[in-house]
Chains A and B, each alone.
Chain A
Amino acid sequence: MARVITITSGKGGVGKTTATANLSTALAMLEQRVVAIDVDIGLRNLDIVMGLENRIVYDLVDVVEGRCRLRQAMIKDKRLPDLYLIPAAQTRDKTAVSPSDMVEVCRQLRVDFDFILVDSPAGIEQGFKNAVAGADEVLIVTTPEVAAVRDADRIIGLVEAEEKGQPQLIINRLSPQLVRRGEMLSMQDVQEILAIPILGIVPEDSHILTSTNRGIPIVLENRSPAGQAFLQIARRMLGEDVPLTIPEELSFWGRLTGWMGRRNETS
């Protein structure tokens, strides 16, 4: 039976879709059967980040309105055998799906999967309510910025009101360098203010942009700091005890000494 996990944030643009695409991919890399559902009806993007936008025939609204079977709306990933995407409709709005529709879709999917990841739209209205309706667990994504943390606090209150248990936090786009200089809220600052458990920290990483440009989730390019961070989070979701660290890009010298170290080991 699958765990249904909704990824939400309140504020837009903090990385919900990037997190959903990468965690879905990472879990599938760890041999889990995963389906990602885009609930952002009218503003779909998960298909783009996963590089599956050209394969869409049916979408979530087609399923809900009975124009196709659930299986027909599931797009199989290009690279991983047990990863699927159910895209949102692009030409409709949030009212096309109801919370009970989402509960039903999740119920049908539970049998065949280990994880169902639901990508929520920004905001606190119907789209958010749809996204959390079928969830067993909720992950909140925020960035270390005043506006994003404020909105995360609001969303945490709403998730608790929906009786979904205590949500967990992903802090995205943290720059260890700026934190060291005292010019960015630290992991501890955010944790102190929001007071929910931290599931992971994803560092600011320009590779995210290039991987989104290509439509290849960054976890598939595992040398990047953000990719490593998402893989760590996926392992924690599976119950592995992975220490909470912030992966950083190695400097030129760090890479060189690492490379020389490996050479010495082999010779």
Chain B
Amino acid sequence: MMKKIGIILMSFLCVVFLSNSWADKDINIEVKTGIHGVGVHESKVKVGEYDVLNIGVQPDISFFLNGKINDLYFSGSGTYYEEEDQQYSASVDIKRYLTQEFTYYRFKHWLDHDPLTNLYAAATTGTNVIPPLVTYTDIESGRDYSIVRSERESKTTLRIPLELPFELKTFFNYRTEARWGERQALTMSKCSACHVVSRSKRIDEYTEDYNPGFIATYRSKKARVSFSYEYLDREFRENAMAPENYYDRAVHPGSGSNVFDDRVQYQNTKLPYAHSPRSRKYSHIVKLDSYVPSLSTGMFIGSVYSETENKEEDLKFNLKTIFTRLSSAMIPGLSFNVHFRYLDLANQSIFVDTNEPVSNAGTNAGHTWADPSHGGTYNTIDPDFTRNSAMSRRQYEVGLDMVYLLMKGITLRGSYEWREIKRDHYYVTSNDKETKEHRAKLAINARFKPPVIERPIRATLTYKYKSIDAPFANVKAAFKGETTITSNGAFSGTQYWELHEMRNLTLTNLPTLTHEIRFDTTVPVYDRLSVTAFYRWIEEKNKAVEWANKTHMPSLSIWYAPLDKLSFTVSYLYKYGKTNSLLCVPVYDG
């Protein structure tokens, strides 16, 4: 602690001393140093979620500088508040040929610790006692969890000093991101969460980016054209070991007999869980941007190809996208953009070869569950399956934006966008894999002087509309109706997979229709009094699933300065929201 105080004090004095020798140079510097003391009562997880809140007294320092020495321009800033709360930035420009930027930050995030006591909510006492059928063990009960996050980024740009018909710049960006600390990791043992276990999981994640590229720009009186290419190589790895859990033997909770051995994937063994796999991403980004001043029109085309790979399971997903936009202000008073986007996302399918243990004893002895030759009368399926991804899709988007100057001080804005998502494998209705969206927006911006106030008032009124046909949904979300099940034991009764297949209701919590109105205005009533009002109303509906959401958000701010030396600011914000939704009653939930 004394060492830290000494270092910070010496740094402050050095800056003060050195700045005196820079008095005749074009350099500005500001430095602050001091101490801060912290006291905390009860829990600090919520009251200071993103604060370090170390109890006691700590020194701190911050600085800001900018300046110029000959053809070298530089600037920098930094704050050291706590060991886990720092940020720095610096930039250097040498004769406009070489620019270098550097940023670094680090902060702490406190996380919750779920005590799991709600799992006993299904238990009852009294006449008909139901013991807790879902139990839990919190290995490190009451432990505080937090993650420290840091990012370091360097950007280097070099303008090639050659006599070329165009300007050529190359750049190299490097970034690392690290997260370390502990968080809670939960796992379940046996038959849909009969026993939930909580353990601490160490986090030691590291992401590293290499991002080189170039930009070539041609300029003339007739046109400006710019072409750029960049490559990104990103690697993510988790250096901490995954926690391990002992998965109990799956015995009947009442009799204690070993009757589930042919129907569980693993038991009576220690296995890792909550593991974050190592991944690698490569991407190529190409852009072409042009502008013709005589036509006040510009054209942009961009394309991205990327490949992301799970290095531990040899799984990949590829992304290909192309985006193009035409912008023009040829017609006086009117400017518009038209854009088109195509996206193709392909996520690899994987064949899941499930573990099919052979039963040791009981009715199914010597057989797997899926083997019908033992004499049982239940219906079986092949438990192996191919996991196709709901991410895989092709997406098309076309949009138009316009801004029109109605009269002096009043602008009308309008936009329309059509989007279609065609999924490769995932159904969003019983027979359709496509989602279609229409989005429209209309807004008016006004800046005018009303007669009484005689000061410029600014006001904006916006209306947004969205219509979505077949939003993302689960087509086997729930069962509605009546049915008959056979309850003659595990080997002649209705099976769990048959109950799942009976589900006949498509449900979602996404709307098919959205309306939004937004209004804000600032009124400078007097030189010393200003009022800002804001209102937002959102209504979302999906009649097919009886889902609806409404939100109101008005707010008012007043700034008043009765004297030159005294000013007040008062604001009030109210938010009201209501959501109506269906409730699914769980059956066979463990």
A and B: partners?
A: no
Which residues on B are within 8 Å of A, measured CB to CB?
A: none
